[in-house]
């Protein structure tokens, strides 16, 4: 296994030090062996400087090109909204620097393909921040499936219903997450992408998917409901429904994997429990502690992959598959890729 960066330390340059970089991701980069934050960037210079001072980072920029071309930076973390992922990935790849990009990987599958192609051409790795692939509760689900705890897997059901009050309506109408021109879609793209990516890790690629979308509440430009059926390469079948305009009594986040001898259920956001029900043993519940910095286990994999001492389970190729599936489920891409 060869190294993918020069030197023995991954020196991160972070583009877009907003909310996700406060606790979820970036702080872990200074806690992992052979990893450090070299520089940060935000278009608002005052906010970039503030972040750098609060997190003990020596350099900050308000221009992404300056950060990408900093000779001390040898890896780029793109933590912007999806609209900028393609542009910055192209620039980082042309500078010869590996890319770790937030999810969803881009606004469209076509943009994902461009990102993969430019990185392959430049010979630099591309990773997607689908960190559920490395968290203990999700790994328990994978272990239970692999061990045959529920027999042969037949189907998976994903159900998500989120109330307008207080969850959704509190977000201003022009929030980037519900503007397809910025995010690619709405809350479906933001949240279901995590769920679908983990199912890809669990059962292999989804090879067929269809569905329908609508904007029922009409509070913002993006779809607020998606209903879908899908099929995995492994033969497992699935159904999913995602609605973001319900009443509080309907609040739901549950994925259930049904097998020939039992079922596994788990919550994708919030709860850290996994429930196993089998014909033989009845109900068992497993609880897990989560890392303070939720992306740390995945970033550790990125670091060892770049240093040539390990591998990472979430790549640009796997991340792009999720964008493809979401487009199948919603009927097509939500916008024309620029």
Residues forming a β-bridge with 128: 101
Inter-residue contact 268 to 279 (CB < 8 Å): no
Output phi, psi for 131, to 5 deg: -80, -10
pLDDT digits (tens, 9 = 90+) for 275-333: 999 999 999 999 999 999 999 999 999 999 999 999 999 999 999 999 999 999 998 65
**What is the pLDDT at residue 200?**
98
- pTM for the full predicted model: 0.95
- Which of 289, 306, 328 delimits the end of a domain? 289
Inter-residue contact 183 to 176 (CB < 8 Å): yes
Residues 18 and 143 in one domain: no
Residues 36 and 160 in one domain: no
Residues forming a β-bridge with 283: 277
Residue 338 has pLDDT above 90, yes or no: no
**What is the pLDDT at residue 333?**
53
Residues 173 and 259 in one domain: yes
Residues 148 and 257 in one domain: yes
**What is the pLDDT at residue 334?**
47
Assigned domain for 324 exists: no
DSSP string, 177-190: GG-HHHHSSSHIII
- Over residues 63-74, mean pLDDT: 98
3-state class of 39 per DSSP? strand
Taking phi over 0 as left and psi of -120 to 50 as alpha, with beta for the rest, 139 belongs to alpha
Output phi, psi for 321, to 5 deg: -60, -35
Q: Report helix angle 85-94 to 109-122, nearest 10.
A: 10
Query: What is the C-alpha to C-alpha distance for residues 27 and 312, in angstroms, rounded to an integer?
Result: 19
3-state class of 60 per DSSP? strand
Element (H, E) at 237: strand 237-246
Assigned domain for 1 exists: no
**What is the pLDDT at residue 163?**
92
Query: What is the C-alpha to C-alpha distance for residues 2 and 13, in angstroms, rounded to an integer?
Result: 22
Element (H, E) at 92: helix 85-94
Dihedral sign, Cα of residue 90, residue 95, residue 96, residue 102: negative
Provide the 10 A C-beta neighbour count for residue 318.
19
pLDDT digits (tens, 9 = 90+) for 213-233: 999 999 889 999 999 999 999
Inter-residue contact 30 to 39 (CB < 8 Å): no
Assigned domain for 236 exists: yes
- Over residues 192-221, mean pLDDT: 96
Query: CA separation (Å) from 58 to 44, 50, 53, 330?
Result: 17, 11, 8, 44
Output phi, psi for 281, to 5 deg: -115, -5
**What is the pLDDT at residue 169?**
57
**What is the pLDDT at residue 171?**
55
**What is the pLDDT at residue 164?**
86
Assigned domain for 118 exists: yes
Residues 153 and 264 in one domain: yes
Residues 80 and 224 in one domain: no
pLDDT digits (tens, 9 = 90+) for 18-60: 999 999 999 999 999 999 999 999 999 999 999 999 999 999 9
Assigned domain for 4 exists: no
Closest by CA to 219, choosing from 270, 302, 162, is 162
Closest by CA to 316, choosing from 302, 332, 330, is 302
**What is the pLDDT at residue 175?**
83
Number of domains making up the chain: 2
Domain that holds residue 306: 10-132+297-315
């Amino acid at each position: 296994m060869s190294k993918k960066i020069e030197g023995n330390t991954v020196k991160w340059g972070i583009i877009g030090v907003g909310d996700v970089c406060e606790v979820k991701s970036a702080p872990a980069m200074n806690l992992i062996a052979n990893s450090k934050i070299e520089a940060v960037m935000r278009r608002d210079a005052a906010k970039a400087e503030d972040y750098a001072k609060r997190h003990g980072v020596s350099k900050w920029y308000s221009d992404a090109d300056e950060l990408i071309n900093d000779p001390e930076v040898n890896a780029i973390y793109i933590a912007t909204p999806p609209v900028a992922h393609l542009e910055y990935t192209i620039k980082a790849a042309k500078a010869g620097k590996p890319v770790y990009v937030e999810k969803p990987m881009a606004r469209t599958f076509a943009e994902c393909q461009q990102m993969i192609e430019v990185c392959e051409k430049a010979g630099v790795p591309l990773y997607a921040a689908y960190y559920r692939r490395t968290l203990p509760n999700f790994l328990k689900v994978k272990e239970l499936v692999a061990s045959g705890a529920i027999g042969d897997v037949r189907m998976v059901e994903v159900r998500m219903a989120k109330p307008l009050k207080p969850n959704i309506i509190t977000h201003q109408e022009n929030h980037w997450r519900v503007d397809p021109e910025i995010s690619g879609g709405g809350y479906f793209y933001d949240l279901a992408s995590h769920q679908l990516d983990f199912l890809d890790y669990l059962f292999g690629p989804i090879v067929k998917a269809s569905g329908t979308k609508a904007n029922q509440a009409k509070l913002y430009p993006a779809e607020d409901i998606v209903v879908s059926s899908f099929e995995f390469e492994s033969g497992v079948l699935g159904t999913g429904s995602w609605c973001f305009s319900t009443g509080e009594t309907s609040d739901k986040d549950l994925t259930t994997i049904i097998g020939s001898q039992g079922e596994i259920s788990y919550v994708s956001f919030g709860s850290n429990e996994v429930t196993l029900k089998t014909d033989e043993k009845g109900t068992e519940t497993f609880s897990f502690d989560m890392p303070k910095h939720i992306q740390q286990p995945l970033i550790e994999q990125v670091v060892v992959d770049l240093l040539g001492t390990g591998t990472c389970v979430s790549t640009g190729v796997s991340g792009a598959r999720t964008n493809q599936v979401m487009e199948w489920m919603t009927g097509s891409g939500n916008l024309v890729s620029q």
